[in-house]
Amino acid sequence: MYAFTPQIHLNPVGIFSKKYKSLAEVPNKALVTIPDDISNAHRALKVLEKAKLIKLKANAQPASPKDIIENPKNLQIKEIPGAQAIPTLPDVDLAGITGNWVVQSGMKTDKDALALESAQNPLYAVTVTTLAGKENDPRIQKLHKLLRDDKVKQFIREKYQGAVLPIP
């Protein structure tokens, strides 16, 4: 068994475009790529829903494109491997991309994302995980405290420019 500490940070999913500066500019029948793995596809769809581009079934957990019940712009949603999101970005209208790929691409999430997953109550945040019974080990407690320190949070904000978000 494993024990989890409270959340440390989130590598958010953002919606990016090389063609448009805002979601309002996105045309009908736009091609939108999202990651093809279950958890990140769900996250990208939730960001699209929060941006009011689609609406998902109320209890879709995890959501997939088949759970879209409203799609006013008739977006063409295609699932692709996450590693292909950056290379294909110039060829699509929008792409749901996770923070790790954004960092590697040289883009800046805080400047380039048209919509972004929130760090408030994130389901997919990074935690410190240890074996059950070890969670009170002073070394684990110290590591957790250091990772949650305000100086580390500030470093994350400055270094990763939105591609990694410290949990409040």
In the chain, where the domains are located: 1-168
The label of the residue with tokens 């769900």 reads: 42
* The pLDDT value given to residue 112: 94
Interior CA angle at 66 toward 51 and 56, to 5°? 35
* The pLDDT value given to residue 127: 87
Q: Are 122 and 7 in contact (CB under 8 A)?
A: yes
Mean pLDDT (the chain) is 92
The beta strands (E) that lie in 19-93 are given as 31-35, 55-56, 68-70, 76-80
Task: Please check the confidence at residue 3 and state whether its pLDDT lies above 70.
Answer: no
* The pLDDT value given to residue 78: 98
Q: What is the dotted CATH code of the domain comprising 1-168?
A: 3.40.190.10
Question: Model pTM greater than 0.85?
Answer: yes
Contacts of 141 (CB under 8 A, 6+ apart): none
* The pLDDT value given to residue 135: 85
Least confident segment among 20-29, 57-66, 113-122, 143-152: 113-122
